Structures are given as structure tokens and as C-alpha cells.
Chains A and B, each alone.
Chain A
């Protein structure tokens, strides 16, 4: 089966611009997660979808970040307007179950805000 796919792999944008990241989970995986790793720091949870519903968005930094998963398939994470501190690697993961099941990760999107 195809793995978790993220697009783009890299993005360089100017401060104040908008960027949209996309994640295509493994087919049939209801649970989709977004994470972010800022340089030198740990992977931080951003939010969790169950199908199209936001189960937990406690990790979203602020209202400049908007995640959607219309139809319960792919998900987008939009940053508007982007700030310098938003730079980092954004990972998406999906898994079939809600706990005690392996989560599959995408390759990540490296976002650089200049």
C-alpha cells in the first residue's frame, strides 16, 4: 500500500506570505496527525483528526494555523501569514486505530520562512 505522502517536500516563503501543506494519509486510516519539529527541538504535536473531525488541536501554536480534512481523506495545514518562527519540518502521520497501533509518517515538509 502507498505510504503517507506530503507535499511539498520543501517550501521557502517570505514572512507574511501564505503557505499550504498537504498530507495524503494511508487509505483507510481514520486518524491523521500533524507534528512540527523546530530546529534542534523535539517533535511537537499540533493536532489530530479522526476522519474529518478535529479530535485534539491543543498543539496548534496560534490562529495563524488552520488545518482541514474535508471528506476525511487528505488534510491541509495552512499558515497565514507566515512568521520566521514557523520555520521547521512539518510531519504528518496516520494510523488505523486510535491507540496501540503503529503510526506511519510522511517524509515531512521543510518550511523556511525568510
Chain B
């Protein structure tokens, strides 16, 4: 089965600092998703990556998928308190199978 490993599991950064969260798979990813969850809320979609080497940005968040499509990173520039939450990477397990699975999440805390 698809396994997604996220690192770090938790992260505390000073407001204004940059940070990176990683997501690694043992198998080729055929659709990599980044979501964010705030306490007591559902998952909010951030970005989807499909192609090797693809990179997408939204505001201060950039996500990349490596050429081999087995690792993705989420980078936040000049972090703000609003970035705090749990970040999850998800993937379609294998091509043709529709199960959407998630990593264990990275809890991000932003200190003012």
C-alpha cells in the first residue's frame, strides 16, 4: 500500500522565518496533494502536483514534486501566524486506483 512519510512531525518557527515540510513516498506518486487543517476544521486544499519537476505557488507557499515523483516539499516564505496548522500531504495510491491516502501530518506553530 502507498506509504507517505512526512517530516518533520512538528515544527516551531519564529514569525517571518522560512520553513520546509517534506513528504516522501516509497512508490511513484500519481497525484500529490497538499492540504492544511486548522484545529476543529476540515482539510483545506492547497495544491496538487502531477508531473515530475512540477512546482506551484500560491501566495507565500510553494510546493514541488521531484523528477522521480517520489518526494514533494512544501515551502513557506516569511511565515505568518495564519500559516499555523497541520499540513498533510496526500496521494492517489497507484495509477488507476482511486484511494486517496495521507501522511501523518506536520504540526506547524508560528511564534510571534
Contacts and interface: CB of A to CB of B under 8 A. Distances in A.
Interface of A: 4, 31, 33, 35, 41-43, 45, 48, 50, 55-56, 58, 91, 93, 95, 98-108
A11 B98 CA distance: 30
Contacts of B48: 100-102
Interface string B12-30: 0000000000000000001
Contacts of A41: 104
Interface residues of B, number: 26
Interface stretch (B39-47, B55-63, B64-72): B39-47
B78 interface: no
Contact of A105 (B43, B95, B97): B43
A108 B41 CA distance: 7
Contacts of A103: 33, 45, 90, 100
A43 B33 contact: no
Contact of B42 (A58, A98, A106): A106
